[in-house]
Amino acid sequence: MILNLLCDHMVLSINSRLKMNDGNSIPMLGYGTWQIPDGKKVEECVFTALMCGYRLIDTASIYDNEKGVGNAVRSAMKKGIPRKDIFVTTKLWNDDHNRVEAAFNESLERLGLDYIDLYLIHWPVIGKRINTWKIFERLLNTGKVKSIGVSNFTIAQLKELMMQTKIVPAVNQVEFSPWLYQRELLDFCNKNNIILEAYSPLTRGRMLSDPMLREIAEKYKKSPAQIVIRWCLQHNLVLLPKSTEPVKIKENSEVFDFEITEEDMNVIDSWNKNLRFCWNPEELD
């Protein structure tokens, strides 16, 4: 099921995808792999996620687990999930802006895949990002990457990039949660047809025992994590919840059998405190 940016959340399903500005589509429910060790652990986690129905897997060269992610993707393919249904994202690390093509090829090799679905500039490194983006534009011609995007870009940094380069990023992956409800950035991305991808949507676990969230969770007979995930989905976001426990990986995917009312969406919207659990890109310029 492919939806445009403004989709009707009544029809959300685990197969829901959003259409990107380059014509490709991206699954809405993703699985994040930051801090999951390479080898058996990440292979088990990613394989579990794929078996639960997640189709977007998010890694990065700095996570040092691309090899295990690739192995898990191949294991899932052996179980019958076609490669074309799986969406793999990886990212260029800050130290690699002077060797973009080499870093990209190394990621591809570690993943052991024929192509990467989405390659992101991990952080908007000052003095490097514009030139790096021009190299990303050229990478598209190799056929080894389907879509290109950025991560941790502010509105000003997006505007600067769009003024000086040809291709508008398909995605901007940023920290986003009910306590960091970045409305202005979301509006800007929506207006410019850039998909906003929410990272650390579960606040790295820190706000899941918040009493107001618990009250709403009890009302819907869902877990606090499920409420936050559903809130993101109903805002038409792609999101990347991460868990290392199979039970929670499954729980986080079971968010398509209920709907948060408009009234409760407004309540959750009001929790914003600009609270970050990762680094603030605004401090980078």
User: Which of 48, 71, 107, 252: binder of ligand NAP (CB under 6 A)?
Assistant: 252
Question: Which residue in 54, 63, 119, 199 is the catalytic one?
Answer: 63
Locate 103 and state its tokens.
Answer: 């870093």
CA atoms of 220 and 15, how far apart (whole Å): 22
User: Which of 27, 149, 178, 241: binder of ligand NAP (CB under 6 A)?
Assistant: 241
CA atoms of 223 and 218, how far apart (whole Å): 8
Region from 12-20, 67-75, 187-195, 236-244 binding ligand NAP, contact rule CB under 6 A: 236-244
Burial class (CB in 10 A: 0-12, 13-18, 19+), 161: buried
Proportion of the chain in helix, strand, coil states, percent, rounded to 5: 45, 15, 40
Minimum distance between the CB of residue 225 and ligand NAP, rounded to whole angstroms? 3
**Residue 149: C-alpha distances to residues 167, 182, 277 (Å):** 10, 19, 22
* Largest CA-CA distance found in the chain, in angstroms, rounded: 52
Nearer to ligand NAP, 100 or 121 (CB): 121
User: Which of 87, 153, 179, 199: binder of ligand NAP (CB under 6 A)?
Assistant: 199
Nearer to ligand NAP, 110 or 242 (CB): 242
In terms of DSSP bridges, do strands 116-121 and 145-151 run parallel, antiparallel, or are they unpaired? parallel
Site string for ligand NAP, 23-52 (x = CB under 6 A): ---------xxx------------------
Is the Cβ–Cβ distance between 25 and 19 less than 8 Å?
yes
Region from 71-79, 101-109, 193-201, 264-272 binding ligand NAP, contact rule CB under 6 A: 193-201
Is the Cβ–Cβ distance between 230 and 254 less than 8 Å?
no
Q: List, in sequence order, every residue forming a beta bridge with 40; answer none if it has no partner.
A: none
Decide: is 208 part of the binding site for ligand NAP (CB under 6 A). Answer: yes
Question: According to CB under 6 A, which residues from 120 to 179 bind ligand NAP?
Answer: 122, 151-152, 173
Place of tokens 């000086």: 164
Kindly state the number of chain residues that form the binding site for ligand NAP, as judged by CB under 6 A: 28
Is the Cβ–Cβ distance between 26 and 198 less than 8 Å?
no
Nearer to ligand NAP, 47 or 199 (CB): 199
Region from 76-84, 103-111, 187-195, 234-242 binding ligand NAP, contact rule CB under 6 A: 234-242
**Would you call 63 a catalytic residue per the annotation?**
yes
- SS3 track for 51-76: HHCCCEEECCHHHCCHHHHHHHHHHH
Question: According to CB under 6 A, which residues from 61 to 100 bind ligand NAP?
Answer: none
Nearer to ligand NAP, 1 or 233 (CB): 233
Catalytic residues, which ones?
63
Residues that bind ligand NAP (CB under 6 A): 32-34, 58, 122, 151-152, 173, 199-205, 208, 223, 225, 240-245, 248, 251-252, 278
